[in-house]
Amino acid sequence: MSNIVAIVGRPNVGKSTLYNRLTESRKAIVDDFSGVTRDRHYGIAEWTHHNFTVIDTGGYVANSEDVFEAAIREQVVIAVEEATAILFVVDVTTGITDLDDEIAVLLRRSKKPVFVVVNKVDNTLQQSDATIFYSLGLGEIYNISSMTGSGTGELLDEVVKTF
Ligand code: GDP
Ligand code: MG
């Protein structure tokens, strides 16, 4: 059984940017446009000789707040069921939103390892802003910049330990 890492979070936090970075130059392995899978992209990643599947969620969700919330909840529930580990992406430039809090409630019930990934930490000044995300109650936080790639190695070192 292959290990699966699911990327969840509300829109615009940088999930797809992180997905693209992790699956760089590797082809998507599944292109299934039925039901909820329409909103999911599957790709292959490799870190320190561990190969794993990465799922990007929420790609094509319609642009309405209600649809967003229901669809995001559904994606989180599926991720908790099928993933080996979950990357919960949040955005240091916006802080914690209501939707982040709702997702955190769902993820705190999960028995699967959850990594709080604070994205858009593009410079060291933002490291201190990121500490607010400890209050999500999901343990350690991992500051990264999906744009530059900074912090992603430290994150993946911990993720592969859960395999
Ligand atoms: P998604 O909706 O969660 O999949 O978010 P996207 O990956 O589409 O990114 C949303 C926006 O955030 C885009 O304009 C990205 O270029 C930007 N973004 C993503 N990662 C970073 C980052 O590390 N730093 C900065 N400054 N912007 C980022
Ligand atoms: Mg996206």
Mutate to test the pocket of ligand 1, among 146, 148, 150, 155 (most ligand atoms within 8 A of CB): 146
- CATH code, domain carrying 58: 3.40.50.300
Of all protein residues, the one whose alpha carbon is nearest to atom 11 of ligand 1 is 12
pTM of the model: 0.91
Q: Give the closest ligand to the alpha carbon of residue 12.
A: 1
Higher pLDDT, 87 or 41: 87
Residue 143 contacts residue 130 (beta carbons within 8 Å):
yes
Closest by CA position to 89, among listed 9, 21, 18, 6: 9
Decide if pLDDT at 155 tops 90: yes
10: domain range? 3-160
Decide if pLDDT at 125 tops 50: yes
Pairing of strands 50-57, 40-47: antiparallel
Residue 59: the pLDDT is: 56
Residue 131: count of CB within 10 angstroms of its CB: 12
What is the mean pLDDT of the segment spanning 56-66? Answer: 62
pLDDT in tens, 126-151: 999 999 999 999 999 999 999 999 99
Q: Percentage of the chain with pLDDT > 90?
A: 66
Residue 32: the pLDDT is: 47
Q: Which helix (H) or strand (E) holds 158?
A: helix 152-160
What is the mean pLDDT of the segment spanning 94-116? Answer: 94
Domain count of the fold of the chain: 1
Of all protein residues, the one whose alpha carbon is nearest to atom 22 of ligand 1 is 120
Mutate to test the pocket of ligand 1, among 7, 12, 87, 118 (most ligand atoms within 8 A of CB): 12
Contacts of 116 (CB under 8 A, 6+ apart): 88, 90, 133, 136, 138, 139, 140, 141, 142
Ligand 1: residues within 6 Å at CB? 9, 11-17, 119-120, 122, 145-147
Rounded distance between C-alpha atoms, residue 160 and residue 163, angstroms: 5
